[in-house]
Structure 1
Amino acid sequence: MSSLIRRPIVEDISTGSDSDYSNSWISWFLSSKGNEYFCEVEEDYILDRFNLTGLNTEVQSYSQALDLITDQLDEDIEDELRGSVEISARFLYGLIHARWIITSRGLAKMLEKYKKADFGRCPRVLCYSQPLLPIGLTDTPYEKAVKLYCPRCEDLYSPKSSRHGSIDGAYFGSTFPHMLFMVYPNMIPSKSTSDGKDDHHHRDRERSDKAPLGVGSVSTVAAATKAERYRPKIFGFHIHEVAKLQRWQDAVRDRQISQLEGLERGD
């Protein structure tokens, strides 16, 4: 378990002015440093208890945390208790946020942030500054920090900022980016490369022909079999077209590994 997300992030609890805090807890939370990835969850969604089903068993001081988020918490509450309620409120808002951003209105809000590249851009040169989207590797809190998904190369990256890198991935969930592109298929970026595609493949083929079968003491076969791949899912199920492509890619990789094993044995 990563130490970065062993408990909810509590830094900058005092960030923002008193006037911001008195106007709206949510607006204060969103304006705090490190929370730029989050969008505003509409109050009507939060006040509908059906949308919060099951969260009361996951959050300590659930009722008070919900009151704080909706600006209904008693102002006379002790400072020490307010601090613990504040932590619970941040955690609860994150869990609500994960549910909200896969609704039609939540997707629309996150789409606007995506268009403005609020989540950063892909560092890969051949992705040509493609905007990224936040994603969780698991929907269970306290397990994995948030990552950034590139819809062009379909790979994952860690946020540049340590503040963003310590956000729990469960606050965005494993479904969000793929649901966004199913609802807005026109936003899926083209996978085609620029001119000179064949030349790139030719040079890559030449380099691979000349490359050694291993790097240092690690064989190519061992490295290939341990390589991790990100597999897009919606509610835990593989996306059909992507899954079909990946089954073909896995079959090709397995054949290549078999050929490498033969070369390493000297067959």
Structure 2
Amino acid sequence: MDDFNSETDSDYTSYWRDWFISSRGNEYFCEIDEEYLTDRFNLTGLNTEVQYYQYALDLVTDVFDLDCDDEMREQIEKSARHLYGLVHARYIVTTRGLAKMLEKFKKADFGKCPRVMCDAQPLLPMGQSDVANTSPVKLYCAKCEDLYNPKSSRHSTIDGAYFGTSFHNILFQVYPAMLPPKTQKRYEPRVFGFRVHAAAALNRWQAEQREQMKERLRQARIETGFEEEDEELESEEEMEDDIEVGEDGFEIGATAPQ
């Protein structure tokens, strides 16, 4: 293949996929096996979604030999990146693809959850739509089950369809041991150590709802998974009650007893 002109010539290697994976901003992607790319069954339907499809496929599979001008080459390169992303969404839900993404997940290549209570839980990329050009990639935390924007601007422009809406859920179904335990830890607003009244009332209501749900699960003989954490929380609450005995006896923001 002729020398590939790009903005990252210093990082250029003799294979297009190596160049693509090593380029800045593409750290979320894993390398797709050549056997997967050359199997036309895996590419079904993509010829209608990618401009210059055959040329783009030739470029990705390193058999491109068309003599064209720079403008045409740039358009084919753009199509090749789009084609690789669409194939990537299909590849990462295969056995090989899941294994590769799992290794990146273990190394926290996708970043860590910014929520303090999640204790730096590694994140997974995901899309909010399987349709291309709909929304950019988001990062999913399995501990708090919430979504976050990538920290780097070069990652925030990646199309979410290149990862799909199902990948993160499939990974935890195939590797259930990697699913982190849920936590009941929540931030509790306090003033000088006393819970703020309005927030405390909301917390009490939420706690009551949670306890009612746990009781229903216990009656159905279903483990909640929070048994050990419940014991820890109860011991902490007992210690707090002991500390508050002898004080004013009411929460900040509450009306003092007459």
After TM superposition, the score normalised by the length of structure 1 is 0.68
Corresponding residue of 2:7: 14
Contact 1:120–1:131 (CA<8 Å) still a contact in 2? yes
Matching residue within 79, 88, 91 for 2:79: 88
- The one-letter code of the counterpart of 1:15 is T
After TM superposition, the score normalised by the length of structure 2 is 0.70
Corresponding residue of 2:103: 112
Corresponding residue of 1:46: 37
In terms of Rg, which structure is larger? 2
- The one-letter code of the counterpart of 1:129 is A
- The one-letter code of the counterpart of 1:169 is G
Count of residues paired in the alignment: 195
3-state SS, counterpart of residue 17 of structure 1? helix
Which piece of structure 1 moves more, 198-207 or 151-160?
Answer: 198-207
Q: 2:117 aligned with 1:161, yes or no? A: no
- The one-letter code of the counterpart of 1:17 is S
- The one-letter code of the counterpart of 2:136 is A
Query: Is the alpha carbon distance of 1:145 and 1:204 closer, same or farther for their aligned partners in structure 2, counting shifts above 3 Å?
Result: farther
Corresponding residue of 2:123: 132
Which of structures 1 and 2 has the larger relative contact order (alpha carbons within 8 angstroms, sep 6+)? Answer: 1
3-state SS, counterpart of residue 134 of structure 1? strand
- The one-letter code of the counterpart of 1:91 is H
- The one-letter code of the counterpart of 1:131 is P
Aligned CA RMSD, in angstroms, stands at 2.4
- Alpha-carbon distance in structure 2 between the residues aligned to 1:152 and 1:198: 12
Query: Is the alpha carbon distance of 1:198 and 1:28 closer, same or farther for their aligned partners in structure 2, counting shifts above 3 Å?
Result: closer
- Alpha-carbon distance in structure 1 between the residues aligned to 2:62 and 2:188: 57
Cα offset for 1:79?
1.9
Query: Is the alpha carbon distance of 1:104 and 1:80 closer, same or farther for their aligned partners in structure 2, counting shifts above 3 Å?
Result: same
- The one-letter code of the counterpart of 2:104 is K
- The one-letter code of the counterpart of 2:133 is Y
Query: Is the alpha carbon distance of 1:172 and 1:19 closer, same or farther for their aligned partners in structure 2, counting shifts above 3 Å?
Result: closer
Query: Is the alpha carbon distance of 1:201 and 1:17 closer, same or farther for their aligned partners in structure 2, counting shifts above 3 Å?
Result: closer
Unaligned runs of 5+ in 2: 203-258
Cα offset for 1:81?
1.1
Residues 18-59 of structure 1: per-residue CA shift (max 9 Å, x gap): 751xx2100000111100000000010000000000000000
Q: 2:31 aligned with 1:36, yes or no? A: no
Query: Is the alpha carbon distance of 1:98 and 1:205 closer, same or farther for their aligned partners in structure 2, counting shifts above 3 Å?
Result: farther
Contact 2:12–2:19 (CA<8 Å) still a contact in 1? no
- The one-letter code of the counterpart of 1:97 is H
Identity percentage of aligned residues: 59
3-state SS, counterpart of residue 90 of structure 1? helix
Contact 2:117–2:186 (CA<8 Å) still a contact in 1? no
- The one-letter code of the counterpart of 1:154 is E
- Alpha-carbon distance in structure 2 between the residues aligned to 1:210 and 1:167: 42
Cα offset for 1:204?
6.9
Contact 1:41–1:97 (CA<8 Å) still a contact in 2? yes
In the TM superposition, structure 1's runs of 4+ consecutive aligned residues that sit over 3 Å from their partners are 16-19, 197-207
Q: 2:32 aligned with 1:55, yes or no? A: no
Q: 2:162 aligned with 1:171, yes or no? A: yes
Q: 2:61 aligned with 1:70, yes or no? A: yes
- The one-letter code of the counterpart of 1:35 is N
Contact 2:11–2:19 (CA<8 Å) still a contact in 1? no
Unaligned runs of 5+ in 1: 1-11, 212-267
Contact 1:95–1:170 (CA<8 Å) still a contact in 2? yes
3-state SS, counterpart of residue 68 of structure 1? helix
What pairs with 1:104-253 in structure 2 (closer than 5 Å)?
A: 104-192=95-183, 206-209=197-200
